[in-house]
Chain A
Amino acid sequence: NAGVTQTPKFQVLKTGQSMTLQCAQDMNHNSMYWYRQDPGMGLRLIYYSASEGTTDKGEVPNGYNVSRLNKREFSLRLESAAPSQTSVYFCASKKYSNYGYTFGSGTRLTVV
């Protein structure tokens, strides 16, 4: 089925470990996004890529890096995980307007 695929679905890291969250979309969308969702807060934008070859910081970029590998794939990397990065991470894509956001099912990350 067409959509946004995120891997892994669950991950437990120790403080200081690194990992990469993978995201791929097969809808030929131009823009891709990484959000985090924390209890009592809305989705907060970490990084986004308006088109292949470009990336920009969102609201909460500290501690993260991203790579727009090609039009399909947008990865999020935690170089040195901290407990404050415990969250649910969502990847999303859209073709043009806000009306067409498609989200992945999320990655639940726990840093201990």
Chain B
Amino acid sequence: DQQVKQNSPSLSVQEGRISILNCDYTNSMFDYFLWYKKYPAEGPTFLISISSIKDKNEDGRFTVFLNKSAKHLSLHIVPSQPGDSAVYFCAASEASNYQLIWGAGTKLIIKP
């Protein structure tokens, strides 16, 4: 039973447009959420995070939104660039030092 779900295995977006990646979770005890980005033949790298006391966190072109009542978070990338083509993983934990539970990832393809 997956506690963190990324229901879209892949997403294709035109360069310059907005990319929206979604993540749902089932464990109401999760209070830290992170997004990692992974290129082929490399390990995941940390992208952006949000704690449950916030509903939005922004870092340059990347914004993460958290809807606790819906147990849903999303990553917005605006504008999308070719270098954003990668697999994006959503992860969650119950506290900052608890183990991460990972989603299956969404492959983002940015079309020129």
In the complex where A96-B97, A98-B34 touch, is A43 in contact with B102 (Cβ < 8 A)? yes
Interface size for chain B: under 10, 10 to 19, 20 to 34, or 35 or more residues?
20 to 34
Q: How many residues of A contact B (CB 8 A)?
A: 22
CB pair B49 A45 closer than 8 Å: no
In the complex where A42-B2, A97-B96, A98-B34 touch, is A92 in contact with B43 (Cβ < 8 A)? yes
Interface stretch, picked from A67-75, A76-84, A103-111, is A103-111
Total A-B pairs in contact (CB under 8 Å)?
59
Query: Closest chain B residue to A39 by CB distance?
Result: B104
Which residues from chain A contact B101 at a C-beta distance below 8 Å? Answer: 42
CB pair A99 B104 closer than 8 Å: no
Between A and B, 14 residue pairs with Cβ closer than 8 Å are A4-B43, A40-B9, A43-B100, A90-B43, A90-B44, A96-B97, A97-B96, A97-B97, A98-B49, A99-B34, A100-B46, A101-B100, A104-B43, A105-B43
Q: Is the interface of A mostly helix, strand, loop or mixed?
A: mixed
Cβ of A92 to closest chain B Cβ, rounded Å = 7
List residues of chain A with CB under 8 Å of any chain B CB.
Answer: 4, 40-45, 48, 58, 90, 92, 96-106
- Kindly state the separation between the CA atoms of A70 and B47 in the bound complex, as whole angstroms: 29
